[in-house]
Amino acid sequence: MSLKTLAIAAIGAVAFALPGLAQSVISVEDAYARASSPIAKSGAAFMVINNSGDEADRLIGVRTDIARKAELHTHIDDGNGNMSMRKVEGGFVVPANGAHVLKRGGDHVMMMGLTGPLNHGDILRMTLVFEQAGAIDLEVPVDLERKPVHGMKSMQGQMNTGG
């Protein structure tokens, strides 16, 4: 094998390995989904996204078969005590060596046009799409009993909470 062929093969191997290396720095914990009622047409998912890498990444999209549309949303206070939800263009930054929390009353995954009920104990499949790490598949439990701050207490002060 010539030196040129060997160099091309090495570059190819590194190029294929990089997405895997980038993906390994993003992890998700404490994920769960909720629906407002058994006949709800929408639901939301919440989680803690950790980034152990030295560079920030950005969650730019989400996919799931349980809804016709899934988007990244946040709650916005108009200053008069009125909260509204809005789609977030550009996604959520997950800081280097930090985390970003998707939580009730803040940033979250919004699932609209549910194709079936979200029953307590069900598991839904979801794919998070990041600029650097690419697609990460998750199994998200439906937990209709969880309190808004469940799982967040031990992580306060360590992350970007999104609002």
Q: Which domains does the chain have, with CATH numbers?
A: 3-155 (2.60.40.1890)
Q: How crowded is residue 67: how many other Cβ atoms within 10 Å of its Cβ?
A: 23
**pLDDT confidence of residue 98:** 97
In which residue are the tokens 């997405």 written? 19
Q: Say what the pLDDT of residue 11 is.
A: 53
> Distance (Å, rounded) from C-alpha 105 to C-alpha 143?
17
Please tell me the distance from the alpha carbon of residue 70 to that of residue 158, in angstroms, as a whole number. Answer: 27
- Phi, psi angles (nearest 5°) of residue 152: -95, -20
CA dihedral of residues 107, 162, 121, 41 (deg, nearest 10):
-10
Distance CA 46, CA 30 (A): 8
pLDDT value at residue 123: 96
- Sequential pLDDT tens for the chain (163 residues): 555 544 455 455 544 444 444 446 999 999 999 987 878 999 999 999 999 999 999 999 999 999 999 999 998 877 887 777 889 999 999 999 999 999 998 999 999 999 999 999 999 999 999 999 999 999 999 999 987 765 454 444 444 444 4
- Please give the structure tokens belonging to residue 108: 């979250």
46 Cβ contact list (under 8 Å, min separation 6):
30, 31, 32, 33, 34, 101, 102, 103, 104, 108, 109
Strand-pair partners of 97: none
CA distance 104 to 25: 25
This model's pTM is above 0.85: no
Q: What is the DSSP secondary structure assignment for residue 31, as one 8-state letter?
A: E
pLDDT recorded at residue 34 = 94
